[in-house]
Amino acid sequence: MKGGAPPLRHDAAMDEHETFGPDYWDERYCQQPALWSGQPNPHLVTEAEQLAPGRALDAGCGEGADAIWLAAHGWHVTAVDISAVALERARRVEGSEPVEWIRADLAAWEAPGPRWDLVNAQYLHLPPALRPPVWDQLAAAVRPGGSLLVAAHDPAELAHEGHGPDPDRFFTAEELITHLGPGWAVATNRRVPRPPDDHHVADLVVRLVRMAVTPSA
């Protein structure tokens, strides 16, 4: 795995990302009392229930449902999001087990590591130029033997109408697995259909385990 993320070039993708920055997300959250369901993502629950609790990083935590669920199930959790509004809502519903909430843009934040047993990234759809450096940062945060869990909308739904205006933000499981390379074992790689009345068609769920010793090339 690469040692840390390379500098990000300032191009059209960066301009787009800056457009959808903290102000955009704060305004979007302010438009509704709650943007998300308040329930943990089922893909996280399915995968985390197979793991012994340890230290977890929730990347792009939103209103905090995943982080709060992890904390309630014995994990020591750090949760990061770009929106101050989302994090304030998360703090208000935080359970008896505390979570460390951090406001940061994942495209610029350098996660300290490797220290986490689980790094959780649910529906983190970034412009193509930003995906590799953010993946590298999140992967670098995983300790040997720990897991990087990524869930995203399946790009197969691009063939269907109504998928949204940002097809470049979709990616395949193979793209992620290939990028991270031979230092990772694939624990989960599955396609999960969504309910028939859902706007999205299916999700991809990938859990990669960082190997204790990276094989030589």
Q: Which of 27-36, 52-61, 68-77, 143-152 has the lowest mean pLDDT?
A: 27-36
Alpha-carbon distance of 191 to 201, in angstroms, equals 10
More confident residue, 38 or 66: 66
Q: What is the pLDDT of residues 98-124, one digit of tens each?
A: 999 999 998 888 888 789 999 999 998
Alpha-carbon distance of 204 to 92, in angstroms, equals 31
- Three-state SS for 94-159 is CCCCCEEEEECCCCCCCCCCCCEEEEEEECCCCCCCCHHHHHHHHHHCEEEEEEEEEEEECHHHHH
Mean pLDDT computed over every residue of the chain: 83
More confident residue, 174 or 23: 174
Domains of the chain: 12-210 (3.40.50.150)
Q: What is the pLDDT of residues 17-57, one digit of tens each?
A: 555 666 766 677 677 666 556 689 999 999 999 999 999 99
Q: What mean pLDDT comes out for the span 186-194?
A: 91
Dihedral sign computed on CA atoms, order 148, 93, 22, 152: positive
